[in-house]
């Protein structure tokens, strides 16, 4: 007799794939059967889209709101080690027992309606059900893919944040900045507030489409900005504000500015009370693992989940600014739809040796495909033994690439990563 699974609904979820043709039709039908929890007890709803930085904005905003004593739901993706990471209330992950129970309710309803939700749709419904039941003051939803047809867009968000627009997920979103921006701006609702740090053609498209729904648009470097000031950062908007943060990099300064501007809007238009003191304390102490996280200084070991061109460029900017003469042994794995060849070419000048890993993920880019295209003796196939050795020795080490790489290969180092 086969063993009985303790959390059979979670195991069922893990076996599901995601839809190749995203739509809100099925998720809307299932939510209707569940008596529309996305329309009840959801407080203020905030949606975050963009190519890079969504997670950093969501995390920093959540930390500030937690510090301000609000009950805050946070839905992010993907997870690194445990699926429970994706659904949190005030930094507490949903328990496996709770998640399994909620999934059971949703799975039962979808069966009766003869509907099969995808992995992300099912998890999104579970998060909505959980947050509605908890009666949170504020719920933050990180968009999974694109915006317009992403499962999270079933939420009628009062505030939308779009970080930036660059080429990513081109097979789903289109192969031009204009097409991708059009998908991402699809999260903006009628008369809602939009905050963005997009620029160039992406910003032009976002402004054009968003202005048809709202005139409450706030743009980085126009309506608010951040400048360095005496070893601190000066946020300039309706009210100037100084802060420090342990998140590293100019891109994080921009991400954090979106969170601070959101707090300003919450105070001014939603009658919230988020003090600059709470903002300052939260940003100074924020912990966001695997985002240019320095594991040790001597020897220098860094982990950063730079998984596409934009994030790899940010990573390289940080290295140039902080360690201009340093070269690293680099452990990396990437998905094939993230322009891995370009990413590896960008990393090569900063490497002593690059250990490239094949992942179990179906979209994994393979070592054999790297060496066909890039003729460099610096690039070798990585192994578990290499990870073990390089984590222990005194050489400078950079761990980067896909979140799935960290989840698959670094679970034993979970405590060191402060997860």
pLDDT at position 169 over 70: no
Q: Across residues 89-102, what is the average pLDDT?
A: 97
Q: How far apart are CA 293 and CA 247, in angstroms?
A: 8
**Alpha helices of 300-402 — where are they, by DSSP H?**
309-322, 340-347, 367-373, 384-392
Beta bridge partners of 218: 195
CB half-sphere exposure, 178, CA atoms < 13 A: 1
All structural domains of the chain with their residue ranges: 8-285, 293-413
Q: Across residues 61-65, what is the average pLDDT?
A: 97
Residue range 112-151, pLDDT digits in tens: 889 999 999 999 999 999 999 999 999 999 998 778 899 9
pLDDT at position 329 over 70: yes
Domains 8-285 and 293-413 share a fold: no
Q: What are the CA-CA distances from residue 319 to residues 153, 230, 256, 294, 300 (Å)?
A: 36, 22, 20, 12, 12
Look at the domain 293-413 and name its fold. Answer: 3.90.190
pLDDT at position 1 over 60: no
Token pair belonging to 252 = 């994080």
CB atoms inside a 10 Å sphere around CB 77: 21
Residue 299 φ/ψ, nearest 5 degrees: -75, 155
Token pair belonging to 310 = 């934009």
Token pair belonging to 32 = 């209707």
Residue with tokens 């698959």: 408
Q: Across residues 292-312, what is the average pLDDT?
A: 92
Picking from 216, 185, 183, 178, the residue whose alpha carbon sits closest to that of residue 200 is: 178
CB of 47 within 8 A of CB of 157? yes
Q: Across residues 370-399, what is the average pLDDT?
A: 93
Domain 8-285, CATH among 1.10.10.10, 3.40.50.740, 3.40.50.10310, 3.40.1190.10: 3.40.1190.10
């Amino acid at each position: 007799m086969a063993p009985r699974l303790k959390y059979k609904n979670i195991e069922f979820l893990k076996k599901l794939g995601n839809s190749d043709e995203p739509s809100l039709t099925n998720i809307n039908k299932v939510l209707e059967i569940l008596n529309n929890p996305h329309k009840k007890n959801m407080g203020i709803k905030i949606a975050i889209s963009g190519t890079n930085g969504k997670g950093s904005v969501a995390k920093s905003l959540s930390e500030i709101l937690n510090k301000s004593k609000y009950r805050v739901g946070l839905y992010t993706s993907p997870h690194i080690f445990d699926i429970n990471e994706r659904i949190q209330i005030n930094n507490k992950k949903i328990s496996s027992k709770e998640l399994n129970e909620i999934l059971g309710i949703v799975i039962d309803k979808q069966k009766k309606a003869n509907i099969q939700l995808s992995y992300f749709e099912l998890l999104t419904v579970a998060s909505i059900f959980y947050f509605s039941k908890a009666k949170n003051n504020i719920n933050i939803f990180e968009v999974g893919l694109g915006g317009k047809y992403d499962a999270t867009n079933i939420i009628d968000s009062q505030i939308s944040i779009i970080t930036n627009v660059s080429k990513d997920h081109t097979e789903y979103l289109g192969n031009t900045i204009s097409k991708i921006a059009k998908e991402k701006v699809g999260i903006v609702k009628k008369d809602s507030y939009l905050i963005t740090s997009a620029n160039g053609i992406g910003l032009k498209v976002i402004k054009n489409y968003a202005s048809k729904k709202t005139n409450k648009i706030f743009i980085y470097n126009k309506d608010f900005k951040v400048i360095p000031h005496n070893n601190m950062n000066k946020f300039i908007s309706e009210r100037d504000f100084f802060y420090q943060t342990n998140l590293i990099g100019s891109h994080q300064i921009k991400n954090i500015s979106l969170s601070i501007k959101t707090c300003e809007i919450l105070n001014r238009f939603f009658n919230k009370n988020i003090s600059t003191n709470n903002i300052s304390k939260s940003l100074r102490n924020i912990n966001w693992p695997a985002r240019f996280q320095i594991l040790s200084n001597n020897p220098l070991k860094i982990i950063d989940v730079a998984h596409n061109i934009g994030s790899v460029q940010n990573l390289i900017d940080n290295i140039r600014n902080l360690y201009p003469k340093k070269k690293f042994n680099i452990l990396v794995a990437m998905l094939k739809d993230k322009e891995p060849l370009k990413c590896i070419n960008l990393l090569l000048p900063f490497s002593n040796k690059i250990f490239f890993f094949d992942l179990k993920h179906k979209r994994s880019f393979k070592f054999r495909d790297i060496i066909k295209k890039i003729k460099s003796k610096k690039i070798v196939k990585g192994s578990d033994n290499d990870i073990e050795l390089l984590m222990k020795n005194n050489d400078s080490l950079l761990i980067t690439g896909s979140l799935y790489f960290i989840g698959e290969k670094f679970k034993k180092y979970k405590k060191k990563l402060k997860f």
